[in-house]
Amino acid sequence: MIKKIFRSLPFRLALALLVGISGGLVAGASVMQVVVTVQHLLSAVIMFTIPLIIIGFIAPSITQLGSNASRLLAIALLLASRQLRYGL
């Protein structure tokens, strides 16, 4: 029973939250600057790759449609570039 509680997702999330808060309180300002920098870089990478992943799934489906496939693919590329450029 206790083993099941320790392996549950809510327990792990609560534990990670407590470890993160305590680590942030103990760590100095320089350590937190590194953490914020890494967070910003990873956020930029994720925001760059998500539109590419979406295009990777949508493009093969659009090409199988046949007629007007190029127009639909252009719309998908336009939306993905908008997401990439403006973060909308």
Q: Give a three-class secondary structure readout of 2-50.
A: HHHHHCCHHHHHHHHHHHHHHHHHHCCHHHHHHHHHHHHHHHHHHHHHH
Tell me what the pLDDT averaged over the chain comes to.
84
Number of domains the chain is built from? 1
Domain that holds residue 12: 2-86
Higher pLDDT, 71 or 53: 53
Query: Do 88 and 59 form a contact (C-beta atoms < 8 A)?
Result: no
What's the rounded mean pLDDT across residues 47-56? 85
Chain center to CA of 58: 18
Flag whether pLDDT at 88 surpasses 70: no
- In the DSSP assignment, the letter for residue 67 is T
Higher pLDDT, 55 or 87: 55
Give per-residue pLDDT as tens, 4-47.
888 899 999 999 999 989 988 898 888 889 989 999 999 999 98
